[in-house]
Amino acid sequence: MKSFLYRASVCLRRCLSLSLGLSLSLGLCLGLTSTLLATQVIADSDRAIDHGPIGVMGDHFHKAGEWMVSARLMRMHMSGNQLGGDKLSDSEVIMQPNAAGRMPAVLSVVPQDMDMDMLMLGAMYAHSNRLTLMAMVMASSKDMALTSYTPPNMMNPAPNQKLIDVACGTGDIGKLYLDNTDINNHITCIDPNKGMISKGKEKLKNYKNIKWIISSAEKLPLKSNSFDFYTISFGLRNTKDLDKSLSEAYRVLKKGGRFFCLEFSKIQNKNLEFIYKNYSKLIPLVGKYVVGQREPYDYLIESIDNFVNQEELLEYMKINKFQKCNYRNFSNGIVSIHSGWKV
């Protein structure tokens, strides 16, 4: 960031004085004392700051009856983005958590350059030797260049980033991730069902960067701080311990890593909720007559009804140390995506 400051001060006083710094002051005293007396007052001053221009801070006062006016112009130019002392690229900026609030989760507008012009007009009047009154008005204008981004998806992954997909089933999320990112990215697929893992390995045998592990979400056999993204789709409500599952997700993520959960949620529209609940009662019957099994579909409906709502899941995430947590409803809340950051 570069800053250029141009400052000019014109001061009407009875005598002419030149102050140190960037200000040039011309003073004209309008008091009742004579020029000779005023000259003697300045000569008797021990410090130049006693008659410094407007803007010189500190022990600054004037003699009774003196006036001073000033006009200052400041121009500032800023460019680039930094986090602390580190420069950030546009792609790094839009991956930063939004510090302003919950929505949106990340930034989509990146400032590039800003020019600011500022004009300050000031006046000072010494009512007495011990009291100087000051007034100042300011006008400014800004011109900022911005770049807007519309990320292709909520994840917006970069090359060489690692994803862990828990409750992966046959690996659909892992396949989608590799198909839309760098083929050299690494995926770890976790599922407690051995049959699902076996089918996934066969289906995605041409994908060499997928690691398959049979495990539950509550106790992942993986090192801490290992992954850039954690995803779990329609699996979190099936875990035995929600807190442990979220705690493990936080543990295996790297600092700056992001958690995503796609799950059935609570419908926000009351009329639609009534229709949906009555329709859901038919699903086990359809399952019985189509595939010959009713129990799995009874469990599906019960698990959805018993699972926490969107706001409650958000609180669970915060309790387990995730920050900048938010969620997005789809189909009026039939499903939602929750996300949070390990900061």
CATH number of domain containing 171: 3.40.50.150
The verdict on 131 and 168 lying in the same domain is no
The verdict on 138 and 241 lying in the same domain is no
The verdict on 84 and 144 lying in the same domain is yes
Tell which residue, 260, 269, 276, 280, has the closest CA to residue 327.
260
CA dihedral 201, 204, 210, 211 (to 10 degrees): 0
> How many residues does the structure list for the chain?
343
Tell which residue, 74, 85, 81, 148, has the closest CA to residue 113.
81
Geometric angle at alpha carbon 8, from 21 and 58, rounded to 5°: 45
The verdict on 63 and 105 lying in the same domain is yes
Question: Quick check: is 250 in a domain?
Answer: yes
pLDDT tens digit sequence for 201-259: 999 999 988 999 999 999 999 999 999 999 999 999 999 999 999 999 999 999 999 99
DSSP-derived secondary structure for 184-204? T-EEEEEES-HHHHHHHHHHT
Which of 148, 175, 198 delimits the end of a domain?
148
The verdict on 143 and 194 lying in the same domain is no
Question: Quick check: is 279 in a domain?
Answer: no
Question: Quick check: is 277 in a domain?
Answer: no
Question: Quick check: is 302 in a domain?
Answer: no
The verdict on 141 and 246 lying in the same domain is no
The verdict on 26 and 141 lying in the same domain is yes
- pLDDT at 58 (0 to 100): 46
The verdict on 261 and 208 lying in the same domain is yes
Tell which residue, 237, 188, 232, has the closest CA to residue 211.
188
Stretches in the chain below the pLDDT threshold 50: 1-49, 57-58, 101-103, 105, 151-152
Domain that includes residue 169, residue range: 162-265+307-341
State the Cα–Cα distance between residues 200 and 297, nearest whole angstrom.
Answer: 23
Q: Which residues contact 43 (CB under 8 A, 6 or more apart)?
A: none
- pLDDT at 161 (0 to 100): 87
The verdict on 66 and 16 lying in the same domain is yes
Letter string b/e over residues 109-148, b meaning 16 or more CB atoms within 10 A of that residue's CB: ebeeeeeeeeebebbbbbeeeeebeeeeeeeeeeeeeeee
Q: Report phi then psi at 231, rounded to 5.
A: -125, 145
The total domain count for the chain is: 2
> What is the reported pTM?
0.57
Q: Which residues, in sequence order, are bridge partners of residue 187?
A: 163, 210
Question: Quick check: is 186 in a domain?
Answer: yes
The verdict on 334 and 191 lying in the same domain is yes
State the Cα–Cα distance between residues 239 and 261, nearest whole angstrom.
Answer: 13
Which of 126, 148, 170 delimits the end of a domain?
148
- pLDDT at 306 (0 to 100): 93
The verdict on 46 and 174 lying in the same domain is no
The verdict on 21 and 77 lying in the same domain is yes
State the Cα–Cα distance between residues 124 and 10, nearest whole angstrom.
Answer: 12
State the Cα–Cα distance between residues 81 and 149, nearest whole angstrom.
Answer: 16
Which of 100, 121, 148 delimits the end of a domain?
148
Q: Are 314 and 338 in contact (CB under 8 A)?
A: yes
Q: Report phi then psi at 237, rounded to 5.
A: -70, -15
**β pairing state of 131-148 and 162-166:** unpaired
